[in-house]
Amino acid sequence: MGEPRLDELVALAEDADGEVSQAAQETLGRLSNEHCAKQLIDPALPEAVGRYFLDPKRLRLPLLQILLANPGSPQDAIARLAAEATEEILPLLAENLDFLKTPAVLALRKNPVFVASQKASAPVLSEEEKLALARGSKPIPEAQRLRTLVALTADPSEAVRGAAQAVLDDMAEEDCAELLAARTLDESVARYFLDPSHLRPPLLPLLLTHASVPQEAVTELAAIAGISVIPELLDNIDLLKTPALIALKGNERYLDWQKAPPAEGVVIEVDLLDLLIAEAELEDARVAAGEQPVLPPLTKEAEKKEGLSGKIARMGVAQKVKTALLGTREERSILIRDGSKVVSRAVLASPKLSDSEVEGFAAMKNVDQDVLRGIAMNRKFMKNYSTMKVLANNPRLPIDIGLSLIPRLIQTDLQFLSKNRDVSDVIRKMAVKLSKTRRG
């Protein structure tokens, strides 16, 4: 007779017949850890088996590391275990943090038993001991360094606060980045570095993408950011969630800043931000409804295979906007045809946009009419006569815009337009009439 199979026994343990279920559970309970380990280590581990052995009531501590390391173990079951872990289980989870995914780490940090143990393990220190920690004369474990220093910046003692703040101010950004990247990043540390008075621009992308960073802290930063911080937020606009975008729009300093923004960097004016927020909200709703799955980033090999169009197709609306503003000529040529108005508007707002590119866009017959209207309404673009001439001959140009451009064409181009069978009859007839009038 072969060795008992865990998948068969687990299925029987869930049987509706109480006697069958009880017998299967008793059999599972009698199986040795060595016997179970041989099957639990299989990467093709059946989900039901993983869930059974990850149940806090059935968990066997000697088998925990095997389950955590197995890619086939259901991650939601591991997160549940982390959330409900007892004092007996917590040390093992702490020893195997490298195997925990972000949801499990977040669940562990909210576990009441874990929180209580953290508080209980924090020693009561004298002012002299705190000063020694702050000044570095008493070593701090590297994993606790930032959390300890940040905590000391709120100490009742002015001397302790000042010493801790001085050490944090002197820390190199490379050292801070290494500590901030830790999966167990403490919330208080994230809030400290998101405070406008402590914000370091090179560290902002790391904070905005870290799963442990509280989004309400990012939103608060967007709401109160001053003139020095606003450009940093806009440079990372693709990393801001919808609530942060809305908070930024309501920031009075941003409203003042966008009236006279700098010539370099990402420049997003209020109307463009409005469109971005609307698109982001729709995108959030589609993802929540399961209509628009969140696609993982491509590997370098897959990105090379799919090409630039494939890479852009996987971007969210905010990523497309940032790429439209700061990307390459080739990226803009793809994004100008994007179905989202905010993306095409961002292309036209790009500081890198050249006259020749605008002229090319004006000639396109596969862009939205709003793109052509946007070109026509931009005085800078219309100073280029070639762009205006090409635009007037585009069959997709809205008639009202075309009628306003006809009087600005020279006689030769007016005659050409009067013979252009691709444009609307209204445009062509008006060109004929004006051309005859000029010939007198």
pLDDT tens by residue, 175-208 = 899 888 887 788 889 999 999 999 998 999 999 9
Q: Over 60: is that where the pLDDT of 228 sits?
A: yes
pLDDT at 1 (0 to 100):
45
In a domain? residue 400? no
Q: Which amino acid appears at position 65 of this protein?
A: Q
Domain count, the chain: 1
Q: Token pair for residue 251? A: 């920031």
Highest mean pLDDT, choosing among 26-30, 93-97, 110-114: 26-30
CA 353 vs. chain centroid, Å, equals 26
Q: What is residue 137's predicted lDDT score, i.e. its pLDDT?
A: 81
pLDDT value for 118: 67
Least confident of 142-156, 326-340, 396-410: 142-156
27 part of a folded domain: yes
DSSP tag of 43: T
The pLDDT value given to residue 121: 55
Q: What's the whole-number mean pLDDT along residues 348-356?
A: 91
| Whole-number pLDDT of residue 183 | 77
Least confident piece of the model among 72-76, 286-290, 314-318, 387-391: 286-290
Q: At 383, is the pLDDT very low, low, confident or very high (cuts 50, 70, 90)?
A: very high
pLDDT of residue 340: 87
With pLDDT > 70 as the criterion, what percentage of the chain qualifies?
Answer: 95
Report, as an integer, the average pLDDT of 359-367: 94
Q: What is the pLDDT of residues 300-321, one digit of tens each?
A: 676 677 788 888 888 888 889 9
How confident is the model over 336-349, as a mean pLDDT? Answer: 91
State residue 107's pLDDT score: 84
Q: Give a yes or no: residue 191 inside a domain.
A: no
Range of the domain at 49: 6-120
Per DSSP, helices labelled H in 99-203 are 102-110, 112-121, 127-135, 145-152, 158-170, 173-180, 187-194
Residue 275 resides in a domain = no
* CA 110/CA 236 separation, integer angstroms: 29
CA atoms within 13 A on the CB side of 431: 27
* 310 is a domain residue: no
Name the residue among 166, 167, 162 with its Cα closest to residue 145. 167
Determine if the pTM surpasses 0.75: no
Q: Which two tokens stand for residue 368?
A: 């939205």
Tell me which residue of 354, 375, 379, 353 sits closest to 364, measured CA to CA.
375
Instruction: Give the chain's radius of gyration (CA, Å).
Output: 31
- What pLDDT, on a 0 to 100 scale, did the predictor assign at position 165? 92
- Name the DSSP letter for residue 294: P
Give the mean pLDDT of the chain.
88
Residue 377 confidence (pLDDT): 92
Assess whether pLDDT exceeds 60 at residue 236: yes
Residue 101 belongs to some domain of the structure = yes
Long-range contacts of 243-250, Cβ-Cβ distance < 8 Å, separation of 24 or more? 243/215, 243/216, 243/219, 244/215, 244/218, 244/219, 245/273, 245/276, 245/277, 245/280, 245/318, 246/277, 247/219, 247/220, 247/222, 247/223, 248/222, 248/223, 248/273, 249/273, 249/274, 249/277, 250/223
pLDDT higher than threshold 60 for residue 134: yes
> Does 255 fall in a domain?
no
DSSP reduced 3-state for 304: helix
Going by pLDDT thresholds of 50, 70 and 90, the confidence category of residue 116 is confident
Task: Give 237-290 pLDDT, tens digit per residue.
Answer: 989 999 999 999 999 999 988 888 776 667 788 888 998 999 888 888 887 887
Residue 87 included in any domain: yes
Residue 416 CA to residue 333 CA, distance in Å, equals 28
Listed in sequence order, the residues at least 6 apart from 31 whose beta carbon sits closer than 8 Å to its beta carbon are: 4, 6
Give the DSSP H/E element, type plus range, for residue 275: helix 270-288
Give the tens place of pLDDT for each residue, 3-56.
Answer: 789 999 999 999 899 999 999 999 999 999 999 999 999 999 999 999 999 998
Under the banding of pLDDT at 50, 70 and 90, the label for residue 102 is confident
Residue 295 has pLDDT above 80, yes or no: no
More confident residue, 48 or 291: 48
